[in-house]
Amino acid sequence: MSHDIAVEARDARKVYGQGIGAVTALGGVSLQIRKGEFFTLLGPSGCGKTTLLKLIAGFESPTTGHILLDGSDITFDPPNERPVNTVFQSYALFPHLSVADNIGFGLKMQGRPKAEVAATVTRMLALVRLDKMADRKPGQLSGGQQQRVALARALAPSPKVLLLDEPLSALDLQLRKEMQIELKRLQVETGITFIFVTHDQEEALTMSDRIGVMQSGHLLQVGDPRTIYTRPANRFVASFIGESNFLTGTLDGTALTLDAGPRMSVEAGQGAPTQGRVTAAIRPEQIRITSATLGDGIPAKVTQTVYFGTDTHCRVVLKDGTEITVRLQSPASGDVGLHPGSEVTLKFEPGALIVLPEAA
Amino acid sequence: MVDRTFAIARLPGFATIAVTVFVLLYLPIAMLVVFSFNAGDSVAIWEGFSFRWYPEAWSNEAVKAATWRSLQIATAASIIATTVATMAALGTTRRRQTKGQSFVYLMINQPLMVPEIVTAVALLIFFSTIKVATGYQGLGYLIIAHAAFCTPFAYLPIRARLESMDLSLETASADLYASRWQTFRYITLPLVMPGAIAGLMLAFVTSLDDVVITLFVKSAGQDTLPTYMLAQIRRSVSAEVNAISTLLLLLTVVLLTAFFLLTRKRT
């Protein structure tokens, strides 16, 4: 077993209830998270990401399978015996304790000497920039400050792994952006392994070293943000992370004949079929539009343009009826010069079209 | 435009009925308080203002003994009831809900529903067997009996407090290396404390005021304040009883005000 794995899930399954009413929250997930990594579990609500987090924290036990921390099996250890701390979605700050006592709680429960607790609390307060708030009660703090107390409280006992359960979802947009940067800074400064749960794909892309995309209790793809975005493993990943257009066609080696007309060469995707009916994905920003109906490319007709400021989204329809969204950078004049009914040609780099490793 | 919403306060005669009910509820009490300051011996004829009944009641050794006994019983019984109620409330709110949950609630609250006289007779028979067997004649029987019927009064505010508590706090405590006992000691107990104090005071007032069960369970010479007053009134209606009642009323009002302040939602 490699020494740089912090947390490992081995075929972890979690089923709630029994018999007919049983619900499978997690359907056999295997995953390795590296030491010092900022790992994000990304998926829609109900995909099992929070369940997996609870298995790692010890709030739940898997129905079958194992959880390993630093190579040792902790599947049935109670939460208070795991060197793992959690930042809760609701923060769960103790309302009757001061900010300092909240932050020092974990160390106090571990029976550390008072002087050490006090020193660590001071250091943590500085780390999250709340030096002046030590004696306040959580109820007297703003949402962003409570968030930072929750972070400091979970980091104070220097856990091997920090679990974050959608900690930014209660904050407004501006504060969320600040906290994203703050979280990343804390992770780099402390070097602690962060496992971050979110349904926000942008949050996942900007903060993570690696992302695990989940759906319906299964892990669909694990990879760094660029790989996840540019080489999605299936249709769900392609549409959940960023936007994607889907084209169907018939593949023969590297030659793809689209249902909408032209024949083009594509790169063979990893694990993708090389023959037969396939689905290919392309990102809206990878497509260019030329007004002429000349040369290579896919002929299309504009149905709608929507102005978004920096971008203009242009909806076009292909010959076979497939609807495609194209994201164009708005020109200085603000007018892309396309109107419903315009005959256009869609162009893109050969590598932009990704054949998905699943049947059409 | 016609307002079609139904409001009971707009029905004809609402104010009249409300005022009548409050007068009927509080007029006798007001009269009792007024006549406790009566200079004469009568409880019906006003003969001038005087404080004489208060020192008179206080100089009565029987009143002092009964008061002291009542306070002892109420203190011990309310502490026992609150402890039991806290454990019961933890058991009913911190475990997975089971099918028998409503049956458990029913069992805990049964002293509220079973006629008091039935409990009284049952306790009389039960305790007399024990008295014969052990020879013990002390206040213990009264304390146990009071603790039993005071428990549901303590249980209700404690359960309300526990139910409104965010369960993730206890999860967070466990996550931060606290054992079950530490979580209870440092998180659950301090947060449930206002509910527990409210429960304690309700139990205390309930015990202080009990007549029926006390009459059946007490041994000779174990009069509490209410049973002493009842015995006094049987002989002759004395204005002394008015003075004692007024003081009891004052104590109850103070405790219930404190209860109200403690259970009020803090904003």
Domain ranges of chain B: 57-263
Contact indicator for A78, A87 with CB cutoff of 8 Å: no
Q: What is the value of ipTM here, to two decimals? A: 0.80
pLDDT mean over A44-70: 92
Q: Which residues contact B263 (CB under 8 A, 6 or more apart)?
A: B157, B160, B194, B195, B198
Nearest CA in chain A to B167: A92
- From the list B169, B190, B191, the residue facing A92 with the nearest CB is B169
Confidence band of B165 (pLDDT split at 50, 70, 90): confident
- Gap from A24 CA to chain B (nearest CA, Å): 20
- The yes-or-no verdict on residue B120 having pLDDT over 80 is yes
Interchain contact B257–A (C-beta under 8 A): no
Confidence band of B167 (pLDDT split at 50, 70, 90): confident
In this structure, of A355-359, B167-171, B215-219, B247-251, the range with the lowest mean pLDDT score is A355-359
pLDDT mean over A128-145: 90
CB pairs under 8 A between A and B: 60
Q: Mind listing the pLDDT tens digit for each residue in B67-98? A: 899 999 999 999 999 999 999 999 888 877 77
pLDDT mean over B177-188: 93
- The yes-or-no verdict on residue B20 having pLDDT over 90 is yes
Nearest to A200 by CA among A164, A233, A231, A235: A164
Four-residue CA torsion sign, B29, B31, B37, B41:
negative
pLDDT reported for residue A211: 95
pLDDT mean over A284-292: 85
- The yes-or-no verdict on residue B14 having pLDDT over 90 is no
Interchain contact B168–A (C-beta under 8 A): yes
pLDDT reported for residue A279: 86
Q: Mind listing the pLDDT tens digit for each residue in A332-350? A: 887 878 888 888 888 888 7
pLDDT reported for residue B2: 57
| Residue B55 to residue A313: CA distance in whole angstroms | 92
Mean predicted lDDT score pLDDT of chain B: 86
- The yes-or-no verdict on residue A72 having pLDDT over 80 is yes
Q: Which residue has the higher pLDDT, A21 or A314?
A: A314
Contact criterion met (CB < 8 Å) for B177 and A106: yes
**Residue ranges of E strands in A112-227:** 161-165, 193-198, 210-215, 218-223
- Gap from B168 CA to chain A (nearest CA, Å): 6
Contact criterion met (CB < 8 Å) for A80 and B169: no
Contact criterion met (CB < 8 Å) for B175 and A80: yes
Distances (CA, A) of A142 to A145, A172, B72, B169: 5, 12, 48, 19
Contact indicator for A60, A51 with CB cutoff of 8 Å: yes
pLDDT reported for residue B106: 84
What are the backbone dihedrals phi and psi of residue B75, each rounded to the nearest 5 degrees, phi first?
-65, -50
Nearest to A304 by CA among A326, A321, A330: A326
Question: Parallel, antiparallel, or unpaired for β A245-252 and A255-258?
Answer: antiparallel
Q: Which residue has the higher pLDDT, A212 or B61?
A: A212
Interchain contact B190–A (C-beta under 8 A): yes
Mean predicted lDDT score pLDDT of chain A: 88
Q: Which residues contact A74 (CB under 8 A, 6 or more apart)?
A: A58, A67, A68, A82
pLDDT reported for residue B45: 79
pLDDT reported for residue A224: 94
Residue B190, number of CB atoms within 10 A of its CB: 14
Confidence band of A295 (pLDDT split at 50, 70, 90): low
The tokens for B252 are 């109850």
Q: Which residue has the higher pLDDT, A260 or B196?
A: B196
pLDDT reported for residue A358: 66
Q: Mind listing the pLDDT tens digit for each residue in A227-268? A: 999 888 888 999 899 889 998 888 887 788 888 777 787 776
| Residue A323 to residue A332: CA distance in whole angstroms | 27
In the DSSP assignment, the letter for residue A221 is E
In chain A, the domains with their CATH numbers are 5-230 (3.40.50.300), 243-359 (2.40.50.140)
In this structure, of A146-150, A164-168, B107-111, B176-180, the range with the lowest mean pLDDT score is B107-111
- Gap from A103 CA to chain B (nearest CA, Å): 10
| Residue A81 to residue A73: CA distance in whole angstroms | 12
Residues of A in contact with B176 (CB under 8 A): 80, 85, 105-106, 109, 153-154, 157
Residue A234, number of CB atoms within 10 A of its CB: 18
Domain B57-263, CATH: 1.10.3720.10
- Gap from B86 CA to chain A (nearest CA, Å): 19
| Residue A233 to residue A214: CA distance in whole angstroms | 12
pLDDT reported for residue B267: 37
Q: Which residues contact B159 (CB under 8 A, 6 or more apart)?
A: B88, B89, B92, B93, B195
SS3 A88: coil
Give percent of chain A above pLDDT 90: 48
The tokens for A133 are 């708030």
Contact indicator for A144, A138 with CB cutoff of 8 Å: no
The DSSP H or E segment spanning A232 is none
Q: Which residue has the higher pLDDT, A118 or B42?
A: A118
Which residues is A198 bridged to in the sheet? A42
- The yes-or-no verdict on residue B21 having pLDDT over 90 is yes
In this structure, of A292-301, B1-10, B22-31, B171-180, the range with the lowest mean pLDDT score is B1-10
- The yes-or-no verdict on residue B32 having pLDDT over 50 is yes
| Residue A275 to residue A251: CA distance in whole angstroms | 5
- From the list A59, A96, A105, the residue facing B171 with the nearest CB is A59
Give percent of chain A above pLDDT 70: 96
Residue A347, number of CB atoms within 10 A of its CB: 15
pLDDT mean over B152-175: 91
